[in-house]
Chain A
Amino acid sequence: MTGPARTPRDRPLPSAGRIALFVSGYTAAYLYSNSFRLDVPVPFWCPDAVLLCALLLSPRRTWWSYLLLALPTRLILTPRSTFPFGFQLATYANDCLQALLAAAWLRRLKPKGPWLSSVKELATFGSIAVVTVPALSALGGVAILQAYDARFLPTWSGWFLGDSLAILLLTPMIVSFSPSSTVFSRSWRRAIEAGLLVGGLVVSGIVAFRGGGKSFPDGAVLLCVPFPFLLWAATRFGVRGTSAALSLFAVSAVWAVSHSARAVTAEALRANVLSLQLFLLVIASSLLFLTVVLEERRTIEENLRSAQARLARAEATSMVMVAHVGLDGRFWKAPRRLAQLLGYSRPELLEHSCNDLTPPSDLEAELREIGRLLTGEIPSFQIEKRLVKSDGAPVWFYLSRSVIRDSDGRPVHFLDYLAEIDERKRAEAAVARSEKQLRLFAEHSPAAVAMLDGELRFVMASRRFRNDFQRDGSPIVGRRYDEALAGFPRRWPDALRRCLEGVLEACDDDTFTRPDGTIETLRWEIMPCAPSEGPPSGAFVFAELTTERKRGERALEELRQELAHVTRVSTLGELSGALAHELNQPLAAILANAQAAQTYLSRGPSGVQEVASILEDIVSDDLRASDVIRSLRKLLRNEQVEFRDVDFNGLVREVLELAQGDLITRNVTVLRNLASELPPIRGDRVQLQQVLLNLIVNACEAMAASENSDRRLRVVTSLDGDGGVHVAIQDSGPGVPEDIRNRIFDPFLTTKNLGLGLGLTICRSLVMAHGGRLWLADNETGGASFHVVLPRTEGRT
């Protein structure tokens, strides 16, 4: 028997199919229930059960439609003559109220089915839908039947039992039906079993009630014949099967009783029906209880089985391994993966003690924890430990161990959760090693390096940094820089603050003052210590004290100047003969003029005019002599180097004049080829003169062995390709010998008897100090030429 229970419950309004299903089910139930004799209580009032099922399985908002549909069905099916309209309305209302109350109550306790999956639910269902609500409804029924002078107790009990029996038998079957449940499709074997059960029930029912009908209740033995089949249904077919079997049994029994030959009088029939109802109630509730208990247990077993299967799967695939370890440390149960990791087969591992596989150094701490665990001081402990593999190599594990106790609280075994952390440990060790190396590297680095955290406290500072910056007697790591340092540049606080915002700051030439007043110069760089993401976590400070270096550089510069001066003086020394000539010429003229003048004057006024012109010449010659001396003094003085714009052609002319005496003495012909327009270059006049003079003197000396007529010095100035000035000093000598060509600029290399051998070395360093170049090349026509290139004013640093 099917009912409206199959109507889908998720639709907003009942569909035509559900309405048809409900109406047909309700009609069938109503017709069956009204097929009994009117003078006895209906043993099996089915419409209420159908209505209850419809309400239970439908959304609340559609309930009204089922309640309304029940009325016309009842009115149409009941001949007006049989029951008055008022009576029909009253019973309809009473039945509706009963179904509504039961459905609402049950749905309130559990909004969705199943309502019979546990003993507790069965009890709830029974007490509400089978006992309380029908009992109340029966009171209503008694009130309605009061008009017919019915007696209270028989009327109430008949009404109550008829309703409750139908609800108990039919509702479980209907509400446990759903489209997804498949009684018959599970397997053919199952279908055959169900068929055999139905057949057995029918046959046993016939056996029981054909004779039993006559002898009931005396023929109770025959009534027992269907029991095995009912038990079969209860144990094998669940609530639905049991409910269906019970319904079939009940229908058969009711049919047998109502058609009993002995129950001819109403009174006898009433008594029989009452007995049957009580009998069926007891049987049905017992069997349903049994079914639910079995179902519940089956469900629990299935859940347990699937949980165990899931657990086993989880254990097999999880990184975490579960092991049971005896109190003596012996493995009771160990996963295969653990055995594989340790290089054993599983049986081999189970022969080992966990303690034997633990290195002695790790064991002590573990045993201490085990002691605390066994005394109950701690519920569990977690450690990182090693287990030794079969080949002797240790493997790192994370172990979480708890103790399993028996019902008396005595420890039985340990439950271990193990995770292999060898990779992590190796990585940690590598990181630690690398960090240690880095610290060592930083510590012994010759550079002053420090690292500060986000609060600008020192995390690390190299030995050099501590030596250079640490305040005496004050620790540095963990302290803020302004507390720990003996002094730092004024720009540091701002630079560090900005560094934490991600800005790199640097300064090549800065100073700070130590507490004792010493001023230190330094160069520094402060850069963000940037993690892979987010704002900088700190700052790196790189600093280098340049005080000593600067002092050294100054001293070196002074030495260089001194050396340049010495070589200049030396060069001039080589020129001294020529310089004497330069001076002697005007002096000779002056002396001759003066003595001539004396003679003229001794002759009286006639010579005065001649004397005037003589004096003019004397002044001119004197000036010329003082010019020579002035330029000599300039070259001889060791003055501060001064870079100014220099007219290079003018410089060349001056030097040639200074060297003129030498050139003449040496019989050297000078050819000047000066560019018409040269840009000014920036340089020190004296140093540049020194370079040219040196090169000219060298050239003259190179030609000393040549024939007089072959001594030609060529001085050429031109514009360099890069916009600078190029000067070439070319001689007609034999050229630079091959063996000293590569060493020509080396110090102390000399081909002369006199001289330090520093001339060209100094020349090159002076030219380089001007940002220029000095090199040697051969002339096409023989002889050597020295080339100097000096950069334009703006090109020089």
Chain B
Amino acid sequence: MRRPGGPSGRARAGTKVPYPPAGRSLNMSSMKPRIFVAVVDDEESVCRALLRLLRAAGLDVETFSSSEAFLESMRERLPSRRPDCIVLDLHLPGLTGMDVQRQLKKDGMHLPIVMITGNEEAGVQERVLAEGAFAFLLKPLNARTLLDAIDGAVRGSTVLP
């Protein structure tokens, strides 16, 4: 598994995000205000599992089973109601994770993205990160790694003006 924040893992706008130390509590409810995470994965069971995991960690979670449904939803929302972080599956039928990434950028929605994938392909990680994703994680996802990545993504985005 590649760790975000490694030599090539970069947060948005070049801000370094320190990797959270192991053993830290999953309970992120202390974070104010409550962080809102959108999960986009065509696999229903994955969506459901991540929903449970992130909620258990005290996050607000909304799941989408296709990229089109997600983008549609984003366009209709006010910027204040948009998620703080997107957990996006790379291999989506139709528009892929990277397509969504580009579309959001195109639509002016600079949302932090944690890209997840079940299939490691050479060069993909670099491309994803270059496109501006905060982290690139391989399934199956360790809860702490995911939460740390979300945490980092959200922090990074708040640090920025």
| A residues neighboring B (CB under 8 Å) | 577-578, 580-593, 595-597, 599-600, 610, 614, 617, 620-621, 624, 661, 664-665, 667, 669, 708
B93 at the interface (CB under 8 A from A): yes
Residues of B within 8 A of A583 (CB): 118
Q: Are B140 and A592 in contact (CB under 8 A)?
A: yes
Smallest CB–CB gap between B63 and chain A, Å? 12
Top 9 closest pairs, chain A to chain B, by CB: A584-B118, A588-B139, A592-B49, A581-B119, A599-B56, A596-B52, A581-B118, A595-B143, A591-B140
**Which of A586, A592, A614 contacts B143, CB < 8 Å?**
A592
Can you report 11 A-B residue pairs in the complex whose CB atoms are below 8 A from each other? A577-B119, A578-B119, A581-B119, A584-B119, A585-B45, A588-B116, A593-B48, A596-B55, A599-B53, A617-B49, A661-B118
In angstroms, Cα B41 to Cα A592, docked, is 14
Question: Known: A577-B119, A580-B119. Is A595-B53 also a contact (CB below 8 A)?
Answer: yes
Q: Are B96 and A667 in contact (CB under 8 A)?
A: yes
In angstroms, Cα B47 to Cα A586, docked, is 11
Residues of A within 8 A of B138 (CB): 584
Q: Are A665 and B49 in contact (CB under 8 A)?
A: no
Q: Are B43 and A580 in contact (CB under 8 A)?
A: no
Smallest CB–CB gap between B45 and chain A, Å? 4
CB-nearest residue of chain A to B44: A589
Q: Are A585 and B56 in contact (CB under 8 A)?
A: no
Q: Find the residue from B96, B118, B142 having the highest chain A CB count within 10 A.
A: B118
Q: Are B46 and A589 in contact (CB under 8 A)?
A: yes
Question: Known: A586-B45, A665-B121. Is A593-B142 also a contact (CB below 8 A)?
Answer: no
Total of A-B residue pairs, C-beta within 8 Å: 98
CB-nearest residue of chain A to B142: A591
Question: Known: A577-B120, A599-B56. Is A590-B91 also a contact (CB below 8 A)?
Answer: no
Q: Are B53 and A596 in contact (CB under 8 A)?
A: yes
B57 at the interface (CB under 8 A from A): yes
**Which of B52, B91, B118, B139 contacts A593, CB < 8 Å?**
B52
In angstroms, Cα B97 to Cα A667, docked, is 11
Residues of B within 8 A of A661 (CB): 118-119
B69 at the interface (CB under 8 A from A): no
Q: Which of B130-161 contact A (CB under 8 A)?
A: 138-143
CB-nearest residue of chain B to A577: B119
Q: Are A589 and B49 in contact (CB under 8 A)?
A: yes
**Which of B26, B45, B96, B120 contacts A599, CB < 8 Å?**
B26
Mask for B20-32, Cβ within 8 A of A = 1, else 0? 0000001000000
**Which of A578, A582, A585 contacts B46, CB < 8 Å?**
A585
B111 at the interface (CB under 8 A from A): no
B88 at the interface (CB under 8 A from A): no
Smallest CB–CB gap between A611 and chain B, Å? 10
In angstroms, Cα B49 to Cα A620, docked, is 12
Question: Known: A578-B119, A592-B141, A667-B96. Is A585-B43 also a contact (CB below 8 A)?
Answer: yes
Residues of B within 8 A of A669 (CB): 93
Smallest CB–CB gap between A782 and chain B, Å? 21
Q: Are B52 and A592 in contact (CB under 8 A)?
A: yes
In angstroms, Cα B93 to Cα A593, docked, is 24
B50 at the interface (CB under 8 A from A): yes
Q: Are A664 and B143 in contact (CB under 8 A)?
A: no
Question: Known: A587-B139, A588-B140, A664-B91. Is A596-B56 also a contact (CB below 8 A)?
Answer: yes
**Which of B42, B96, B140 contacts A584, CB < 8 Å?**
B140
Q: Are A620 and B45 in contact (CB under 8 A)?
A: yes
Residues of B within 8 A of A595 (CB): 26, 53, 142-143
CB-nearest residue of chain A to B57: A599
| B residues neighboring A (CB under 8 Å) | 26, 42-43, 45-46, 48-50, 52-53, 55-57, 91-93, 96, 99, 116-121, 138-143
CB-nearest residue of chain A to B50: A592
Q: Are B140 and A610 in contact (CB under 8 A)?
A: no
Q: Are A588 and B49 in contact (CB under 8 A)?
A: yes
Residues of B within 8 A of A624 (CB): 45
CB-nearest residue of chain A to B138: A584
Q: Are A581 and B45 in contact (CB under 8 A)?
A: no
Q: Are A617 and B91 in contact (CB under 8 A)?
A: no
Q: Are A592 and B120 in contact (CB under 8 A)?
A: no
Smallest CB–CB gap between B59 and chain A, Å? 12
Smallest CB–CB gap between A157 and chain B, Å? 164
Q: Are B26 and A588 in contact (CB under 8 A)?
A: no
Q: Are B96 and A588 in contact (CB under 8 A)?
A: no
Residues of A within 8 A of B141 (CB): 588, 591-592
Q: Are A614 and B139 in contact (CB under 8 A)?
A: no
Smallest CB–CB gap between A626 and chain B, Å? 14
Identify 8 new A-B residue pairs, CB closer than 8 A, beyond the known A593-B52, A599-B57, A665-B91. A584-B138, A586-B45, A588-B139, A592-B140, A592-B143, A593-B49, A596-B143, A621-B49
Question: Known: A580-B120, A708-B96. Is A589-B45 also a contact (CB below 8 A)?
Answer: yes
CB-nearest residue of chain B to A618: B49
In angstroms, Cα B43 to Cα A661, docked, is 12
CB-nearest residue of chain B to A666: B91
CB-nearest residue of chain A to B46: A589
Residues of B within 8 A of A578 (CB): 119
**Which of A580, A614, A620, A667 contacts B118, CB < 8 Å?**
A580
CB-nearest residue of chain B to A586: B45
**Which of A577, A584, A589 contacts B121, CB < 8 Å?**
A577
In angstroms, Cα B26 to Cα A617, docked, is 22
Residues of B within 8 A of A577 (CB): 119-121
Question: Known: A580-B118, A584-B139. Is A621-B57 also a contact (CB below 8 A)?
Answer: no
**Which of A596, A600, A708 contacts B49, CB < 8 Å?**
A596
In angstroms, Cα B45 to Cα A669, docked, is 22
Q: Are A589 and B43 in contact (CB under 8 A)?
A: yes
Q: Are B53 and A585 in contact (CB under 8 A)?
A: no
Smallest CB–CB gap between B20 and chain A, Å? 15
Residues of A within 8 A of B139 (CB): 584-585, 587-588
Q: Are A590 and B49 in contact (CB under 8 A)?
A: yes
Q: Are B118 and A592 in contact (CB under 8 A)?
A: no
In angstroms, Cα B26 to Cα A589, docked, is 18
